[in-house]
Amino acid sequence: MRVLIVAGEASGDAHAAKVARHLIDRGARVAAVGGAALRDTGATSIASIDELAVIGFVEVAQRLPRLLALLRQLEKRLRAGEFDLALTVDYPGFNLRLAARAQRAGVPVLHYIGPQVWAWRAHRLQVLRRVATHVALVLPFEKPLYDAAGVAATYVGHPLLDDPDPPHAPDRDLGLFPGSRTQEIRRHLPLLLDAWERIRAQRPQTTLWVSQANTAPEAMMRDLLRGRGLDPDACLSPSPARVVMARSRALLVASGTATLEAALASRPFAVFYRTHPFNYALARRLVQVPHVALANLVAGEAVVREYVQGAATPAALATEALRLIEDQAERARQTIAWREVRQRLGPAGASERVAALAVTLGRGIAPGERS
């Protein structure tokens, strides 16, 4: 079986790679648009994740010509009959358009990690019903929404549960997680380092890790750290985020999948995010959920504090980080909450279940039918 996998950002690349390994073990030939994780599986690389890893209305508009060129390239290969299945992973702005082209080319589509229709753009359910043969869902509360909209979908569990817990104990006080995209690093890391300087002024003995995602601009991060008198070799860690989380007593985490990863690491943390003012103004009009942190949404309550846009100040983040490091009652409260979140996500094995769905669809069989 010949499978096209398209992932548009670091978390999707990591989740897609787990599925790719299962498919390759089953004898599939995989070609991919992705990052280092997908390339490491042995999949044939079509294009780098660098062409896709943008977020926000303004940034997507700036990258639009390159995105459209890649879309046309993939459509040409789909129409040429090079693939039996398209596995699109998250990144709905690009991948739903690709899915429509795959369907017109007669190639079935398995979309993995459904778009956040429960937060905004609920109309994407109708789009998915037209362009996706099947959707693999990773959050337990999503399935009823998809069923009600008539979208063929299966809850497979969350792929973060497929990662083993790192055998590490905390050896630094604070872990900083500025995000994985260049634009996030540019906005977030100076903010976090401003907060860090305030923390050190109040608690000089505080120690630090800075997480470097595999898609993050290393040179930029090193320059920013050196500019604050920090040695990148001593505090910048390219290890997987879960490892850096395990090695930190408390965390400041950019909103995104990393917040759920922090919950599964059972570390006390706070969430922050800054974006272009236009993006933020538009999102405020469109987003319809009470929390921005995925961990809070799964928990069903505000377990962690969220500092978004104007509320994400160096003073606020420094005060919160010190509280998370020193307040034992708060640390215990969050630990209990994260155990409940882990239980809500169900059993591990999501990646293998997605691979099984992919094989079924690639053979032209609807999930649930007999082969």
State the greatest distance between any 2 C-alpha atoms of the chain, in Å, as a whole number: 66
Q: How is residue 338 written in tokens?
A: 């994260």
Residues 353 and 209 placed together within one structural domain of the fold:
no
User: Is 213 within the bounds of a domain?
Assistant: yes
**Domain extent for 29:** 2-157+349-362
- Give residue-wise pLDDT tens across range 90-122: 999 899 999 999 999 999 999 999 988 766 667
Q: What is the pLDDT of residue 8?
A: 84
CATH of the domain at 52: 3.40.50.2000
Q: Are 223 and 328 found together in one domain?
A: yes
pLDDT of residue 215: 79
Model-level pTM? 0.81
Q: For residue 68, which of 88, 47, 44 has the smallest C-alpha distance?
A: 47
* Per-residue confidence (pLDDT) for residue 67, from 0 to 100: 83
The confidence score (pLDDT) of residue 278 equals 66
- Number of structural domains in the chain: 2
| Separation CA 116–CA 4 (nearest Å) | 23
- Alpha-carbon distance of 265 to 167, in angstroms, equals 11
**Residue tagged 């923390």 (tokens):** 199
- Per-residue pLDDT at 181: 84
* Residue 371: inside a domain: no
Give the residue from 58, 10, 8 showing the smallest Cα distance to 280: 58
In a domain, 163, yes or no: no
**Averaged pLDDT in 10-residue chunks for the chain of 371 residues:** 92 93 96 93 88 54 77 96 96 93 96 82 87 94 91 95 88 96 92 98 97 90 96 96 96 93 96 78 58 86 93 97 97 96 92 96 72 36
Return contacts of 277-286, CB within 8 angstroms, 24+ apart.
Answer: 278/57, 278/58, 279/56, 279/57, 279/58, 280/308, 280/309, 282/57, 283/120, 286/120, 286/121
Predicted confidence at residue 50, as pLDDT, reads 67
